């Protein structure tokens, strides 16, 4: 029966039910061949908030595994919906980039136990049309809030992410508010929030719009409508596959990084099989295949070493100084502010 934690498959094996993002099912066959007696039942959720509400409503018993973005893993821990990671089973943990080992032992830990496993990651910065904005420009979030930069006319050629969280944080980084990211939550003062709102409203006439989906951005780049776009790196990787002139920037300021944190639910009746599946997601072969299918980097350095796609290659040093996603301390205020900006 699909969606029931730890149920037995038709052949007497164990079915591990997983609630996650699109694309994870691309490696189902590979994992089932590797793990004898294990079958996967993958369901796709509409975002991390939906994952949490779904699992919370079922008391952690409906799914064996859930894979939200990293800032949501502490919510699963606080709600007693997460089981401690069995490090005897997750033997590939030591192959994670040090950045993600530290994240697991920090953001995903409680009482000395680790409750989440980083699987895939990416970050938000801006892509740009190198035929308009030269590659040797000073890479900075200032690009997103300029009418002219490095001799290029940016008027009406900028897109920001159509989502309050990412766009507000990008604006904050452009304004130099790095102190707001130092705690367990992102915390702006009233004055900082006001300045962020005023900056977005004042610059809004120069925007092409708030856009986040790859298809629309690709079409706008192909039509010459966009000079620079703030979105996920994986989104830009897809665009770069179709538009030769598009490049992805590494701004001088810190980038906003996210990673998917896999949790085995406290209500799972077959935790060992679930952790074996998670171990496969960060294994050299399956982890590489998962990344290539989703155009997203793997948190395991061994998996990344197996990836041939040039667009997914990174220098390990790029992870230094990145700011991980954290909950907004005043989430409702952010949402209301972004609505005012869009309606202005």
Does residue 1 lie within any of the structural domains?
A: no
pLDDT higher than 50, residue 332: yes
Query: CA-to-CA distance for 290 and 24, rounded, in angstroms?
Result: 7
Does residue 149 lie within any of the structural domains?
A: yes
Residues 80, 190 within the same domain: no
Residues 192, 247 within the same domain: yes
Angle at 83 between CA 77 and CA 85, to 5 degrees: 110
Which residue range forms the structural domain that includes residue 213?
A: 124-255+324-343
Rounded mean pLDDT, 29-55: 96
Residues 330, 216 within the same domain: yes
Q: Which class for 342: exposed (0-12), middle (13-18), buried (19 or more C-beta within 10 A)?
A: middle
pLDDT higher than 60, residue 4: no
The reported pTM is: 0.82
Which among 24, 101, 115 is positioned nearest to 73, based on CA atoms?
Answer: 115
Read off the CATH number of the domain in which 27 is found.
Answer: 3.40.190.10
pLDDT higher than 90, residue 1: no
Residues 66, 26 within the same domain: yes
Query: CA-to-CA distance for 300 and 319, rounded, in angstroms?
Result: 13
Residues 109, 58 within the same domain: yes
Domain count, the chain: 2
Spatial contact of 69 and 325, defined as CB atoms under 8 Å apart: yes
Residues 312, 328 within the same domain: no
**Paired sense of beta strands 148-149 and 152-153, if any:** antiparallel
Does residue 2 lie within any of the structural domains?
A: no
Residues 200, 336 within the same domain: yes
pLDDT higher than 90, residue 176: yes
Rounded mean pLDDT, 149-163: 97
Residue 7 — pLDDT band, cuts 50, 70, 90? low
For 289, half-sphere exposure in the C-beta direction (CA atoms, 13 angstrom radius) is 13
Query: CA-to-CA distance for 300 and 30, rounded, in angstroms?
Result: 18
Residues 271, 242 within the same domain: no
Does residue 174 lie within any of the structural domains?
A: yes
Query: DSSP letters of 251-300?
Result: -SSPPEEEEEEEEEBTT-S-HHHHHHHHHHHTSHHHHHHHHHHHT-EESB
Residue 320 — pLDDT band, cuts 50, 70, 90? confident
Residues 214, 226 within the same domain: yes
Residues 243, 329 within the same domain: yes
Rounded mean pLDDT, 306-324: 83
Residues 77, 145 within the same domain: no
Residues 154, 189 within the same domain: yes
């Amino acid at each position: 029966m699909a969606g029931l934690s730890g149920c037995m498959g038709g052949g007497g094996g164990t079915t591990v039910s997983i609630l996650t993002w699109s694309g994870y099912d691309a490696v189902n066959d590979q994992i089932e061949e590797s793990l004898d007696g294990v079958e996967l039942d993958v369901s796709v959720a509409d975002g991390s908030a939906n994952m949490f509400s779904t699992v919370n409503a079922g008391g952690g018993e409906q799914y064996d595994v859930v894979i939200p973005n990293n800032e949501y893993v502490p919510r699963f821990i606080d709600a007693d919906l997460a089981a401690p990671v069995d490090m005897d089973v997750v033997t590939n943990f030591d192959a994670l980039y040090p950045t993600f080992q530290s994240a697991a032992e920090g953001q995903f830990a409680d009482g000395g136990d680790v409750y989440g496993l980083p699987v895939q990651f990416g970050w938000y910065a801006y892509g740009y049309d190198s035929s308009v904005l030269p590659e040797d420009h000073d890479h900075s979030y200032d690009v997103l809030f300029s009418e002219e930069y490095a001799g290029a006319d940016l008027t009406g050629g900028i897109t920001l992410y159509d989502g309050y969280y990412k766009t507000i944080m990008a604006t904050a980084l452009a304004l130099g508010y790095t102190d707001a990211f130092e705690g367990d939550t992102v915390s702006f003062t009233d004055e900082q929030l006001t300045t962020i709102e005023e900056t977005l409203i004042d610059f809004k006439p120069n925007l092409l719009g708030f856009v986040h989906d790859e298809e629309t951005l690709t079409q706008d780049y192909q039509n010459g409508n966009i000079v620079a776009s703030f979105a996920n790196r994986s989104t830009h990787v897809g665009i770069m596959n179709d538009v030769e002139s598009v490049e992805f920037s590494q701004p001088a300021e810190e980038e906003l990084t996210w990673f998917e944190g896999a949790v085995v639910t406290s209500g799972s009746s077959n935790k060992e099989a679930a952790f074996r599946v998670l171990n496969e997601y960060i294994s050299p072969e399956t982890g590489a295949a998962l990344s290539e299918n989703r155009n997203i980097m793997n948190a395991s350095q061994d998996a990344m070493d197996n990836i041939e796609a040039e667009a997914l290659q990174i220098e390990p040093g790029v992870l230094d100084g990145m700011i991980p996603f954290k909950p907004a301390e005043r989430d409702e205020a952010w949402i209301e502010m972004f609505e005012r900006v869009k309606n202005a």
